Homo-oligomer: A and B are copies of this chain.
Amino acid sequence: MKVSIPKGMRDFSPAVMAKRNYIFDTIKKSFQTYGFEQIETPTMENRETLTGKYGDEGDSLIFNVMQRGDKLVNEVIALKNLDELTSSELTVKNFNPSVKNKIVNNFTDGALRYDLTVPFARYVVQHQNEISFPFKRYQIQPVWRADRPQKGRYREFYQCDADIIGSDSLLNEVELVKLFDEVLTNLGMKDFSIKLNNRKILSGIAEVIGRPEMIIPITVAIDKLEKIGLEKVNEELTQRGLSDNELRKIQPLFQIEGSNAEKLAQLSSFLKESEIGLKGIEETQFILNTVADLGLRKAKLEVDVTLARGLDYYTGAIFEVVTNEANMGSICGGGRYADLTGIFGLKDMSGVGISFGADRIYDVMEELNLFPESANTATQVLFINFGDKEAAFALPLVYQLREAGIRTELYPDAAKMKKQMKFANDKQIPFTVMIGEEEMISGKLSVKNMENGEQSTITVEELIKSIN
């Protein structure tokens, strides 16, 4: 019999779990220190809570949980009698998408969480009378997407989100920049950039060019500048319908460079006719100044006008974090959304949030060897089992070590010495303790340091002291 798990899913073995926990615990600690409180939402949401929120492609990637029992049988019978399916020769190609959608809806009992943001919005609306706003919540839970699995992309993965909802103060943006710096510095990263943009600046650019409806294609094209060069970007913009005159107007943007202050000065000049654009600059300036007053530990905060993530929903600041120590793409992101809960009927709730990409952070830390010894939660001391009498003598000592907080095991069977030592080696247990006739008389323990092979004969108190 071959055992396996569905594609895109993962088992996490102990060594990996310990490191993942180290990341989550570090993030949680900072979230809490900053006054964020944890919530959890259920794995399953009503299907209509999720559909229509992630675009058509997103909708098609939602995992649906099927009806059961009599309800399912009723749906099967209804399907069997469905008029739309009686007449034609049905094939995958000629199948009517709206009929398919109807069938999916009817057969579905619930849908798996696709991200943490939409369930959070639903939570806020549902619990609005219990919540004290501004509400600072964090949430660390898995989400599911039926994406094609590939290296680094899974069908089940954790998201770690922190949001503040119910306040449009820019101090929240400042807090989140500081939080990125705090968490990633605590995780041991030494060189990373928090890229900062503002949707209002992008809106201003599109306005100045005279094509406000083109904001997304324009920004996407600008975003490619570094990769494909100025000529190709201009070609793309022409293809997308910018006139020569409009193209000429946009050129100063491609020259923007220098420090954050220099970039903002050039942008101010470019956007001088755009009220919304200047508002975006003012907001960015406030964030930069306030963060500069407070200081950052390891992060660089960089204005990046090409940053275009989440343009469908972000309305103010946009964040993205990249490490400069490894080739990894963005490891965190976020931004401000003026109206997250409007989709569920609660208006005028401005929010701003960030998300830590746990899987990518894991890969970076592994590559840079950043996991500390303390991330290891495996057994520290193994008592070798030489038989019933010896084991009975050892047991109270095992508990003495545990009471001192030392992770300790007694090998449960009186197996061959070689097998027990192999067990200790394979699990990389740093110390083994042997108790035989002699040790039972003297009350002292034979302790072997498994790393350097050194043996010593010491009391249990001395062993505890040497480890703690």
List residues of chain B with CB within 8 A of the CB of A65.
Answer: 63-66, 112
B76 touches A127 (CB 8 A): no
Given contacts A40-B12, A73-B95, A412-B134, contact A4 B46 (CB under 8 A): yes
Question: Is A328 close to B, CB under 8 A?
Answer: no
Interface residues contributed by chain A, number (CB under 8 Å): 110
Chain B CB count within 10 A is highest, among A69, A112, A169, for A169
- Residues of A254-289 whose CB lies within 8 A of B: none
Question: Is A392 close to B, CB under 8 A?
Answer: yes
Question: Is A322 close to B, CB under 8 A?
Answer: no
Checking B44, B90, B169 against A156 with a beta-carbon cut-off of 8 angstroms, the contacting residue is B44
- Residues of A15-52 whose CB lies within 8 A of B: 17-18, 21, 32-35, 37-46, 49
Checking B79, B137, B379, B410 against A171 with a beta-carbon cut-off of 8 angstroms, the contacting residue is B410
- Residues of A73-102 whose CB lies within 8 A of B: 73-74, 76-77, 79-80, 85, 90-92, 95, 100
What is the 8 Å Cβ interface bit string for chain A, positions 420-452, against chain B (1 contact, 0 not)? 001100110000000000000000000000000
B68 touches A146 (CB 8 A): yes
Question: Is A54 close to B, CB under 8 A?
Answer: no
List residues of chain B with CB within 8 A of the CB of A155.
Answer: 44
List residues of chain B with CB within 8 A of the CB of A164.
Answer: 412
A-B CB proximity, top 10 nearest: A14-B37, A9-B42, A35-B409, A169-B412, A1-B345, A132-B426, A12-B40, A35-B379, A17-B38, A167-B412
Residues of A within 8 A of B (CB): 1, 3-6, 9-14, 17-18, 21, 32-35, 37-46, 49, 60-61, 63-66, 68-70, 72-74, 76-77, 79-80, 85, 90-92, 95, 100, 103-104, 107-110, 112, 122-123, 125-127, 130, 132-134, 136-137, 142, 144, 146, 155-156, 164, 167-169, 171-172, 174-175, 178, 290, 293-294, 344-345, 377-379, 391-392, 395-396, 399, 402, 405-413, 422-423, 426-427
